[in-house]
Structure 1
């Protein structure tokens, strides 16, 4: 009777496993389809912006959009053709973003090391202080910063002022991120290096550096994006010499003329560096953002 029961139960078990596998395949296909739909929803506006930038101004203003209109690169040529084009603002944005990101990393990594690997006393209070600096709305600090820049240090329309501001804006989030990344470093590695006579700089560069490199890449990319896309302070504190890319694109928004094609071209140009940086650090970014997520 036992053998007969096992023989009768075997087909049922096989059929159940087959049904479970079919359900899993169906669920995987549905999740994949949903991911594609969400990706298309996010990508379509970007593709529409790029396509509009390749149309003549008259074709870009038509409603509904003329998808089959002739393509041209004249809008990009117009952006770079004159001395007051987008070239100098892009260089200013690149300088401010890169320099401020490097300064942020130079300050945030030692601070995060002191708060995570070699914790100081009352480190949680220090972390809350860093976080509290982000609680003030950016618009609330415009007037004091503007008066300090123009009346006290007399440095209006200067890219170095933007570098200092972007460094101060991104430093708290960088310390928080780097602290969470460095907290995942095994303490035994630091203790072993200390026993072998390694100094603090050696431990940070040769022991912790390679392990925390994904976190450094993620932090630097986020700081770069925040600095690159910042517009509020750049619009108030700059005019011509230190004008950044987002501020220049904002000047293309006018109601008197049909500048939609040039506006799309300018928006495409200021999006390219961020896309390049994101694709270049894609692997490190995923590793870095997930480094402190699982305990």
Structure 2
């Protein structure tokens, strides 16, 4: 017994306009990949240089086929008799995490008042927050230094916490206000009808719905605090020295220790990369998708 072969119908040829659109999308995709690799190239070069010895890292042009070693990382962590980076890393983590937490605690009620329950002339309030970022940071450096000296707060990590909180608070209010403005009022009104007070509404209703916005805001504030160097360089010495200030110790009068500097830069960049990786799921979620049925 034989069966007839089943033939698939031939594929319909794409019209010329569709073929041109497909080729255009292919070229745009390749261009996007090339741009992404171009932006990642400095970081990859820094990682490769950190795995070279100092003589190989200092060659011009650089040697790509040089032997790999972890001497730069061992020197960074004090194996060669240098200063330990752990106090500086702990100071940066303390200043960044505590200031970010304080910023969120202060910015969330302020953004709630300016978006969901707007006050009178709230646009003037938003402009006031924005105007605080118009003054260059270096212009306020001397008054802050004199004030810190008069109250005995120089070389104190808690002074950095206060400064980073005040510096990031306007940005956090602006970001959270735009996120909270999209929360449906019907959800908040339903919770208030059930007897929920303001702290309960903020903690159990607003914060979960604004999770992506809070994650993005906290990540921005953490990055700004972790990377800040001007105030940390001027207002701290040894006790409250942060990681960016510690990196400048690899540029000495004896020369530039390039391999150690790249190794230190890789280590100091890891917390920011880890924070971004941990918050990536929140960053892509819908703000209130499916909240209202």
Normalization by structure 1: what TM-score? 0.89
Corresponding position of 1:145: 144
Aligned partners of 2:25, 2:213: CA distance in 1, in Å?
30
* Counterpart pick for 1:275 among 269, 273, 282: 273
Structure 1 residue runs without a partner (length 5+): 1-13
Q: How many residues align?
A: 275
Alignment partner, residue 120 of structure 1:
119
Shift of 1:285: 2.3
Q: CA deviation at 1:154?
A: 0.7
- The alpha-carbon distance between structure 1 residues 83 and 109, as it changes in their structure 2 partners (threshold 3 A), is farther
* Aligned-partner SS, 2:254: coil
CA–CA distance in structure 2, aligned partners of residues 202 and 100 of structure 1: 23
Show structure 1 runs of 4+ deviating over 3 A: none
Q: Is the 8 A contact 2:250 2:256 kept in 1?
A: no
CA distance in 2, matches of 1:52, 1:184: 46
* Counterpart in the other structure of 1:212: 210
Alpha-carbon shift at residue 287 of structure 1 (Å) = 4.2
User: Aligned residue for 1:9?
Assistant: none
Moved more, 168-177 or 263-272: 263-272
Distance 1:97 1:287 in 2: 25
Matches within 5 A, 1:226-265: 226-265=224-263
**Which residue is equivalent to 1:222?**
220
Structure 2 CA distance for aligned equivalents of residues 241 and 114 of structure 1: 39
TM-score relative to the length of structure 2: 0.90
CA distance in 2, matches of 1:85, 1:50: 21
Measured after TM superposition, the shift of residue 196 of structure 1 is: 2.0
For 1:3, the equivalent position in structure 2 comes to none
Quote the Cα distance in structure 2 between the aligned partners of 1:156 and 1:210.
39
**Displacement of 1:83:** 6.8
For 1:212 and 1:218, the matched residues in 2 are separated by: 10
Whole-Å Cα distance in 1 between the matches of residues 192 and 255 of structure 2? 67
Task: Say which structure is richer in helix.
Answer: 1
After superposition, residues 91-170 of structure 1 pair within 5 angstroms as 91-151=90-150, 153-170=151-168
Deviations 1:77-114 (A, max 9, x none): 11112572222111111111000000000000011011
Alpha-carbon deviations, 1:191-217, whole Å to 9, x = none? 222222211112112222211000000
- Return the match for 1:175 from 151, 173, 176: 173
